[in-house]
Amino acid sequence: MTSSRRAFLSLAASSAGASPLTARPSGAAELPQGRISPMDGVRREKIKITGLKVISLGYRLKPEEEWPDGDDNVIIYKTESVIVELTTDVGLKGIGGASRYNAPAQMKEYAEAVVKPAILGKNPFDVEYLAAGLCGPRARGVWAGVDTAMWDIIGKAKELPLYKILATDTKPVTHIRMYASGGEFTWQKGSRFVGPDDLVKQALRHKAAGYTAFKYRPGGGFGRLGIKIADYIPYMRDLRGAVGSNFDLIQEANTRWSMEQCMEIAPVLEELKYLWFEEPTRKNIDDYVKLKRYLPTVRISGGETMPNRATLAEWVDRGAYDIVQPGCDDAGVTECWHMARMAGSRGKLICPHNWQDGLITAANAHLLAAVPNRFLLESNMTPNPFKEGLFKEKFQAVDGYIEVPQKPGLGVELKEGLEELYPPIPGNWNMPDPNFPR
C-alpha cells in the first residue's frame, strides 16, 4: 500500500460524516452485476481536488529518427507528451494524457484560466458532469486529460484497476492485441527517407517482433509528384506476398485520396483481403456510405479526433464507419466509453486512435478491456521515447499484445525528473524539410 493510499485511509476514516474506508486487499470492492454506466453502483468517497498541473514534455528527434509527413515537403522533427496531474486533499494523485496535436502551450494556459477554477474544491467522483463531453479542438483538448485523471483517482480510491469500473456488463479482457502502425515513406527519389520498397522490410520486422497486423500510409507524392494508384498497387501485392495470408494489413489514407482513387484501390483491398481501410477520403458521410458498396468485406474506419458522441452519431447511424476510432487523448475516458457503447449498439467495433504516448495507451487499454465491441489497439512504431519511457514500471507490448495494468486506477506511475529531462519545445510538430530543394 502506498504512502498516499495510507494517508487517504487515515483521513477518510477520521473525517466527520465520511464513509470510513478500511484497508482491504486490492480489488475487494466488488461492484454489482448488470450496471448500466461506469459510476452505477460505485460508492462515492469524500475527496476534493486541490491542485491541477499540466506537464508538457518535448523530445527533438535525431536526424535519423525524423520522418516525412504527407505530400507537402515537411518532416516530423519532434514528439511531445501532454500530461494532466490532479492532486487531492486525501493524498491521492491522478494523471491523464491529452493529445499533443491540440497545442500544448494553449492547453496549459486554458487549464489555468478555465479548468482550474471550475474543478478546484470539487469531487472527482463527479467526473461525469465536471469534465465529460467538454473536449474540443486546440485548448479545450486538455479536458481529455482532466477527465482521465479523475478516473485515475476514482480507481485508486476504490482500490480497483479502472477497467473493472468501466466493465459494467461485460467480462473484461486484459490481454489486448495491438497492431504495428507506421509505414511512413516518400516517393521522392534521392530523398534521405525510405521509399515504398521499404514497406516489406517494415512489415517483416514487425511480424518478427510478434505483431500480427501492420498499418501503413500512402506516402507523400500523390499530389505533388503525380503518383497514381496504378503505381502503388504493385507494392501492395508485394507486401501481401511477403507477409502471407495470415497477417493482417491495414491501409491508412489520412483522408488524402479522392473518391475516384478510393474506388480504384477498393477492389485491390478486397482481393488482397485487407482488414480495414482507414479514413480513405475527405470526411463526407455520403462518400463513405457510397464507398462501402465497393468494400463488401473490407471494413472502413475513422473518427480518430472526434471528441464526443454528437460528432460521431450520424457516422455510425448511417453505417459510414464499420470501426470507430476515438481515443482517450481527444475525448477522455468518459466520453470514449459512451462512444464505444453507442457504436457497439449499432454493431460497430472500436479501435482507438493511439498515436501519442504510454499514458494514452494505458487509458485506451483500460477502455478496450471493458467494452464488448473491442477490436485492436494501435501501437505507434515511429521513434518516441514517451511510448515506453514515462513510467517507473514496465509497460509495453510483448509479442504483439499488451497487458492492462492491474494496479488501482490506470495502474501506472510517472518517473521522477521527466520535466527536466524533456523540456517543452515551442512550435508546430512539423517543419519544411531542410534537405529538400525549394
DSSP for 165-206, please give it: HH-SSS----EEEEEEE----B--TT-SS--TTHHHHHHHHH
Q: For residue 438, what pLDDT is reported? A: 53
pLDDT at 381 over 90: yes
- State how far the Cα of 110 lies from the Cα of 94, in Å rounded to an integer: 19
Q: For residue 26, what pLDDT is reported? A: 40
Residues 6+ apart with CB under 8 A from 281: 253, 255, 256, 257, 258, 259, 261, 262, 287, 288, 291
Average pLDDT, the chain: 92
- State how far the Cα of 227 lies from the Cα of 36, in Å rounded to an integer: 51
Asked if residue 203 lies in contact with residue 214, where contact means CB atoms within 8 angstroms, the answer is yes
Q: For residue 377, what pLDDT is reported? A: 98
209, 211, 215, 221 alpha-carbon torsion, rounded to 10°: 20
- State how far the Cα of 382 lies from the Cα of 329, in Å rounded to an integer: 18
Reported as a single tens digit per residue, the pLDDT across 44-87 is 999 999 999 999 999 999 999 999 987 667 899 999 999 999 99
Reported as a single tens digit per residue, the pLDDT across 310-345 is 999 999 999 999 999 999 999 999 999 999 999 999
Cell of 180: 504495428
Cell of 252: 491508412
23, 26, 29, 31 alpha-carbon torsion, rounded to 10°: 170
Stretch 179-197: mean pLDDT? 92
Of the listed ranges 28-32, 222-226, 276-280, the one predicted with least confidence? 28-32
- State how far the Cα of 413 lies from the Cα of 30, in Å rounded to an integer: 24
Cell of 213: 497486423
pLDDT at 6 over 60: no
Residues 6+ apart with CB under 8 A from 230: 264
Give the domain ranges of the chain. 166-421
For domain 166-421, is the CATH number 3.40.50.10140?
no
Stretch 376-383: mean pLDDT? 97
- Please report how the helices 198-208 and 229-243 are oriented relative to each other, as an axis angle in degrees rounded to 10: 30
- State how far the Cα of 339 lies from the Cα of 324, in Å rounded to an integer: 8
pLDDT at 230 over 80: yes
Q: For residue 221, what pLDDT is reported? A: 83
Terminal-residue alpha carbon distance, the chain: 59
pLDDT at 1 over 70: no
- State how far the Cα of 386 lies from the Cα of 404, in Å rounded to an integer: 18
Asked if residue 298 lies in contact with residue 277, where contact means CB atoms within 8 angstroms, the answer is yes
Q: Which residue has the higher pLDDT, 26 or 121?
A: 121
pLDDT range class, residue 419, cuts 50, 70, 90? very high
* Strand 349-350 relative to strand 323-324, pairing: parallel
